[in-house]
Structure 1
Amino acid sequence: MKLNHSRRFATGLAAVGMLALAACGAASEGADDGAFRIVGFAVPEAANKNIEKEFARTEDGEGFKVKGSYGASGDQSRAVVSGLDADYVHFSVASDVTRLVDEGLVDEDWDQGDNKGVVSRSVVVFGVREGNPKGIETWDDLVKPGVEIVTPNPASSGAARWNALAAYGQVIRDGGSEKDAQAYVDDFFANVVALPGSGRDATQAFLSGTGDVLMAYENEAILAAQEGEGFEYVIPETTLLIENPGAILKDADPIAEKWLEFVLSDEGQKQFALTGFRPIRDDVDFGGTVEGAADPSNPFPVVPTLMTVAEDFGTWDEVSTTFFDEENGLVTEAIAKTGLGE
């Protein structure tokens, strides 16, 4: 069931624009050092670094060196528009690549390959405290009185948008109306106690003791465990497939094509899997075990009801206008009611 609305989003644009310009200035220093420029959202940094190491061992990657810039997806996208050097971008949501297409920085056909522009995948999960003292298992549990939620800010973070869409869409998938879904989103954000700037910042806030539940990528929970900062996580029976885009800039170093090919190859996808991402193809052999997963021998269990943006919401243009419009977006309005976005 696709949802048809027409609104747009940019809450806090002035503030995140300042951050983007700051990121641009900091990362542009040494821009002529010959390094391959990767600009991405914070969560896949570890995976990309592992892929870099493997690519450098190939004939195509001989002498390959990278200068990476990682942060909140929306901030990073705006920073590239503002002049941050990039050969390859890896963002949380497709709309952050579309911004670069609109600015003439990325070709319009960037998402026309077999992978539709997607380079990494995950699912929305609930991070919980050890032993799950609040008994968080379902979406209904999140909106009970006294449950404190940490989720990043949709103004800057792509992860936040996936979380909000999952919260809304699960109501529809379970037979509720759009009115019911809006009411749920209102109740959800009423329980939010922190809106950090990025998915990584949200994880750090949770690890520091904020909140009872962290809305997170499955891979972020797995990576945290791999780094010795693990937390338990619950995969709800209905959740949303996260599909992160990657794209090459028009004026990129010629090696960018080989890099993207490697990212999409079995070896590239293996490295994503080993850091907690679900490979974009089911036939990728990553050895069957992923350290840090809730069940390392079955790290990516089948989700009974797995929503996707395409099947459940339409296009990212529709999503952006419906849920994240600066004035009238459904999520923007829900956050405004809480005062958290001020």
Structure 2
Amino acid sequence: MKSRTPVVLALIATLVALVVAGCGGASDEKGGDASASGSSDADTTLSLVAYSTPEVVYDEIIPDFARTADGRGVAFKTSFGASGDQSRAVEAGQKADVVSFSVEPDMTRLTDAGLVADDWNRGANRGLVTTSVVSFVVRRGNPKNFRTWDDLLRPGVKVLTPNPFTSGAAKWNLLAAYGQAARGGADPEAGLAYVRTLINDHVPVQDRSGREALQNFINGDADVLLSYEYEATTAQKKGEEVDYVIPDDTIRIDIDIATTRDAPAEARTFLDYVLSEPAQQRFADWGYRPVNETVLAANRARFPTPSGLFTIDDLGGWSRVNDEFFDIENGSIAKIEEEAGVSTAK
């Protein structure tokens, strides 16, 4: 892990954060690069370990928090990377006070290890910091007119989605593909048949992370990228020539956040700020669906609910889904990936 020396003045930290936001962040989902912000004589330094995509948002939220009464004297060390990699790193001993992952099993790994309290998801926000939906990221103007999941199976169409054994985004993508064909889980055989055809006939490569897949799409010749809605809006804010389509039938993506058991009280204060109206509006501005009801209501027009939206609970919940689909030895989607020659190593 790379680390950088904490800067001396809070003003410099704010400027650095703004520069990073403008460049889109350097760490991506490649192994949890770390950075530090805040005063070198801070009373408390919090370690935020998260999946990569919201780095640009935290680059704004952390300076905002520093300007509040609760945030004075609090510095941060941040690490962003592939969700599964980040979770495993914390389990192995990486310092973390606040953790945020793109799939619940990555949080469950830490509760099983005794690092996060079992009741982390029993509050008013149910452990969520934002939500999203699986979308089709397409070239500007959607020149090939992708609207439905069936459109992705047209002859010659190239689709990108990352490897589900390293990327939380990929799990959501494949569950969306499965769920829409399975009619929310009512016809499992149809769902798996769709996933098999998609992977074998239309997905030429599976990158390690959602962020890498986005970069591959921008630089490559694929027709569609399966990704979070907010990956597309973030790419647009950075000037990339992409559009996105939300299919009628898709899955709601739940993004989790929690403090660790040994975190100082300031970690809970920061988490509360992240769920507050100012911070949730920062998320909304970048295309994340806020969980703060007041902010969500104010931004409702930007975040329409797809007519056929379903949830992970409709498919049986993560405890069932993770084993049934992604268990390396017996998971049905794992077997499809293995047949396609995709690495299931984590």
The one of 265, 271, 275 equivalent to 1:254 is 265
Amino acid at match of 1:321: D
Q: 1:247–1:230: structure 2 CA closer, same or farther, 3 Å change rule?
A: farther
The one of 282, 301, 310 equivalent to 2:304 is 301
The one of 205, 220, 225 equivalent to 2:236 is 225
- The separation in 1 between residues aligned to 2:220 and 2:315, in whole angstroms, is 34
Match of 2:204 in 1: 193
1:327 and 2:329 aligned: yes
User: Does the residue aligned with 2:215 lie in a helix, a strand or coil?
Assistant: helix
TM-score, normalization by structure 2:
0.84
TM-score, normalization by structure 1:
0.85
Match of 2:87 in 1: 77
The one of 41, 48, 56 equivalent to 1:46 is 56
Gaps of 5+ in 2: 1-29
4+ aligned runs moved over 3 Å, structure 1? 26-30, 285-288
User: Does the residue aligned with 2:213 lie in a helix, a strand or coil?
Assistant: helix
| 128-137 vs 191-200, greater mean Cα deviation | 128-137
- The separation in 1 between residues aligned to 2:79 and 2:267, in whole angstroms, is 16
Contact 2:49 2:98 in 1 (8 A): yes
Deviation, structure 1 residue 166: 0.5
- The separation in 2 between residues aligned to 1:223 and 1:341, in whole angstroms, is 29
- The separation in 2 between residues aligned to 1:174 and 1:87, in whole angstroms, is 36
Amino acid at match of 1:170: Q
User: Does the residue aligned with 2:136 lie in a helix, a strand or coil?
Assistant: strand
Match of 2:168 in 1: 158
- The separation in 2 between residues aligned to 1:175 and 1:109, in whole angstroms, is 28
- The separation in 2 between residues aligned to 1:159 and 1:210, in whole angstroms, is 21
The one of 307, 317, 320 equivalent to 1:318 is 320
Report Cα offsets for 1:157-196 as digits up to 9, x if no partner.
1100100110011112279621111100101112111211
User: Does the residue aligned with 1:53 lie in a helix, a strand or coil?
Assistant: helix
- The separation in 2 between residues aligned to 1:27 and 1:85, in whole angstroms, is 11
Report Cα offsets for 1:109-145 as digits up to 9, x if no partner.
1111111111111110001122323321100111222
Q: 1:184–1:226: structure 2 CA closer, same or farther, 3 Å change rule?
A: same
Match of 2:248 in 1: 237
Amino acid at match of 2:235: A
Gaps of 5+ in 1: 1-21, 289-296
- The separation in 2 between residues aligned to 1:230 and 1:103, in whole angstroms, is 43
User: Does the residue aligned with 2:282 lie in a helix, a strand or coil?
Assistant: helix
User: Does the residue aligned with 1:188 lie in a helix, a strand or coil?
Assistant: helix
- The separation in 2 between residues aligned to 1:176 and 1:111, in whole angstroms, is 28
- The separation in 1 between residues aligned to 2:100 and 2:167, in whole angstroms, is 13
Amino acid at match of 1:324: F
User: Does the residue aligned with 1:321 lie in a helix, a strand or coil?
Assistant: helix
Match of 1:17 in 2: none
The one of 136, 148, 154 equivalent to 1:126 is 136
Deviation, structure 1 residue 28: 10
User: Does the residue aligned with 1:301 lie in a helix, a strand or coil?
Assistant: coil
Provide the identity percentage: 45
* Count of residue correspondences: 309
User: Does the residue aligned with 1:238 lie in a helix, a strand or coil?
Assistant: coil
Report Cα offsets for 1:27-69 as digits up to 9, x if no partner.
5999xx7531111101111112222122111110013322111
Report Cα offsets for 1:76-130 as digits up to 9, x if no partner.
0001111111110010011101100111111111111111111111110001122
Amino acid at match of 1:276: G
Deviation, structure 1 residue 150: 0.7
Amino acid at match of 1:180: A
- The separation in 1 between residues aligned to 2:254 and 2:118, in whole angstroms, is 19
Contact 2:116 2:260 in 1 (8 A): yes
Q: 1 or 2 for the larger relative contact order (CA 8 Å, sep ≥6)? A: 1
- The separation in 2 between residues aligned to 1:97 and 1:261, in whole angstroms, is 18
- The separation in 2 between residues aligned to 1:281 and 1:255, in whole angstroms, is 21
